[in-house]
């Protein structure tokens, strides 16, 4: 096929670019556009030969776009206006302005892009911004498909449910039958876990418990019987890899820096989502990982010789010093940025500049996307 000339909008740290390379589709990124200085430094570090435009998208004129002579767009607009923990201001959020600007320009480009791929958070599918996107694409006679996909669908032990849209300017050219419904997973997927199952927020659960649930499991944290059943089901799903394949442990790494501090253990122990190297699941890593605890990502139990349930069942009634001694047996630690990058599909040669702090690394990774999922979608879109 003709080599694609790709415009990468909201380029971040280059997740779309890596996905494009992994798809093996003949293509070049003619320009990447992003206003985030930290993300741009990382992008330039890994793609020094790609034209990077450090500016706002709405600061580009129609002529600026036309000069780039692109025929495909990959984009991941800001998700904060649609995220579950945000204010969900949708199109009234100033951060949506640039996306609406792109939609306004699209029909006026010298040439309509042959392909468009968009990624965003769960919640975008019910937004006015999504309605505007669909309306614009249909008016331009695009053929399109919307999907909700998590990396667990392709065997990666990390829940990161996202909205995707793929579109082509050649109606009927997809290799599958499109539907106006949002697909749960890839068109060829037979997996039932492509959209994940989210647990009840811990703030809605009761206190520490140690009774037997209806399923015969011991409930020992701020979890419900349904939470435990879901986690056990995920860990028994053999089509999903174990976390140990993505870890740096055993490679001469000093993990003491990533151990959870005593204050965090004492305050948040009951809220932690704890996984082990042989687990086949982990919850979505967000930009607040390593800084905030609740809902930002799983932590790893490094010492697997200690029974997790035993430790938590014995906490009630203990002094802080005794609790800390109990919890310390687990050797709980954060996942390293490299391990999160591994789970998100970034290749081994992806690196951070030396001046990028650990906190900044967690932040930009939390704002990025799963490379393997997007790579498969690119292949699906252009094949």
The angle subtended at Cα 373 by Cα 157 and Cα 333, nearest 5°, is 35
Q: Identify whether the C-beta of residue 133 lies closer than 8 Å to the C-beta of residue 106.
A: no
d(CA 282, CA 299): 8
Q: What are phi and psi of 308, to 5 degrees?
A: -60, -45
d(CA 92, CA 159): 29
- Other beta carbons within 10 Å of 314: 14
Nearest to 162 by CA among 176, 150, 171, 145: 150
d(CA 287, CA 337): 11
Q: Tell me what percent of the chain is helix, strand and coil, each rounded to the nearest 5.
A: 35, 15, 50
d(CA 339, CA 332): 15
Q: What are phi and psi of 244, to 5 degrees?
A: -60, -25
Active site residue 303: no
**3 state SS of 309:** helix
The angle subtended at Cα 157 by Cα 305 and Cα 120, nearest 5°, is 140
- Other beta carbons within 10 Å of 121: 22
* β-bridge mates for residue 74, sequence order: 8, 117
- β-pairing verdict for 52-53 and 27-33: parallel
Tokens encoding 211 = 């009774």
Active site residues: 79
């Amino acid at each position: 096929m003709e080599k694609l000339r790709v415009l990468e909008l909201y380029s971040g740290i280059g997740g779309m670019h890596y996905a494009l390379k992994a798809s093996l589709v003949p293509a070049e990124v003619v320009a990447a556009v992003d206003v985030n200085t930290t993300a741009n430094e990382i992008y330039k570090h890994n793609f020094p030969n790609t034209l990077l435009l450090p500016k706002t998208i709405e600061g580009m004129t129609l002529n600026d776009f036309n000069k780039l002579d692109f025929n495909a767009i990959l984009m991941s607009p800001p998700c904060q206006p649609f995220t579950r923990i945000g204010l969900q201001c949708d199109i009234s959020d100033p951060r949506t302005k640039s996306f609406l600007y792109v939609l306004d320009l699209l029909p006026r480009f010298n040439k309509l892009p042959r392909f468009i791929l968009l990624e965003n958070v769960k919640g975008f599918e019910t937004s006015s911004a999504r309605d505007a996107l669909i309306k614009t694409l249909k008016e331009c006679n695009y053929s399109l498909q919307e999907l909700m996909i998590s990396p667990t669908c392709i065997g990666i032990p990390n829940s990161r449910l996202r909205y995707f849209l793929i579109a082509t300017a050649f109606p009927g050219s997809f290799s599958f039958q499109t539907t106006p419904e949002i697909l749960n997973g890839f068109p060829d997927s037979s997996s039932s876990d492509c959209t994940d199952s989210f647990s009840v927020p811990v703030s809605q659960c009761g206190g520490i418990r140690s009774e037997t649930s209806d399923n015969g499991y011991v409930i020992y944290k701020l979890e419900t019987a349904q939470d435990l059943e879901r986690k056990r089901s995920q860990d028994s799903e053999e089509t999903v890899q174990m976390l140990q394949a993505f870890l740096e442990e055993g490679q001469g790494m000093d993990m003491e820096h990533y151990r959870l501090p005593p204050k965090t253990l004492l305050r948040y122990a009951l809220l932690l989502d704890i996984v082990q190297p042989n687990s086949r699941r982990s919850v979505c890593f967000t930009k607040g990982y390593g800084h905030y605890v609740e809902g930002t990502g799983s932590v790893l139990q490094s010492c697997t010789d200690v029974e997790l349930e035993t430790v938590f069942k014995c906490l009630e009634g203990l002094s802080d010093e005794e609790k800390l001694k109990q919890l310390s047996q687990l050797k709980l630690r954060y996942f390293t940025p490299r391990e999160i990058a591994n789970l998100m599909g970034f290749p081994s040669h992806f690196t951070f500049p030396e001046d990028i702090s650990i906190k900044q690394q967690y932040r930009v990774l939390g704002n990025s996307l799963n490379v393997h999922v997007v790579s498969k979608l690119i292949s699906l879109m252009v094949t």
